[in-house]
Amino acid sequence: MPLLKIEPPGIFITFLYYFACTNVIIFLIAFTQSSRIGVDESVLYELGLVVGLLTGILGAKFNRSVTITATYKKSKNFEKTIGKVINDLGFTPNSQLEGFTVYQIPSLKSLFVGKLFVQVEKRSATIICRASLAKQIRKNDKLQEYF
């Protein structure tokens, strides 16, 4: 059975998500409070634009999903090593999804960290996770030879 290839949302979609959500939140706050605070609506729109841009940029930089690929010769060694690194980061296997093992942190922290998807093939592995987590995985001394 061929393994499924998943592409995470790109940087633009992530930026747009954070930008739009922030603008909706600021609009709702401004809409409910505008009569009390007496601020001109144009100022609120400008505030929404600026804060939306900032959160969009920060979200796209740190919270976008990325795909990293590791190549290796012996899959048992790699599986053991990546399993240890993932466990050290606090993740535990949660489920299987179309050839991917889904790892998750079993606490409220998982809302901010997200899930980690690992698909192990014969000579390579695909890891899909948030950019900040991918950076930690790439910099791990135990995995340097694979990336």
Question: For 106-143, what is each residue's pLDDT tens digit?
Answer: 877 777 788 999 998 888 889 999 888 988 898 888 88
- In SS3 terms, 65-101 reads as EEEEEEECCCHHHHHHHHHHHHHHCCCEEEEEECCEE
CA-based end-to-end distance of the chain: 26
Q: Does residue 41 register a pLDDT over 90? A: no
Q: How confident is the model at residue 14 (pLDDT cuts 50, 70, 90)?
A: confident
Is the pLDDT at 3 greater than 60? The verdict is no
Q: What residues pair up with 95 in beta bridges, in sequence order?
A: 102
pTM, two decimals, is 0.72
Please report the domains of the chain, with CATH numbers, ordered by start residue.
11-62 (no CATH), 65-146 (3.30.310)
Q: Which amino acid is at 109?
A: K
DSSP code per residue over 88-144: HTT-EEEEEETTEEEEE-SSTTHHHH--EEEEE-SSEEEEEEEHHHHHHHHH-GGGG
Tens of pLDDT, residues 81-95: 888 999 999 999 989
Q: Which residues pair with 102 in a beta bridge?
A: 95, 117
pLDDT digits (tens, 9 = 90+) for 43-60: 777 888 899 999 999 888
Nearest to 138 by CA among 112, 94, 130: 130
Q: Closest Cα partner for 133 from 65, 57, 54, 59?
A: 65
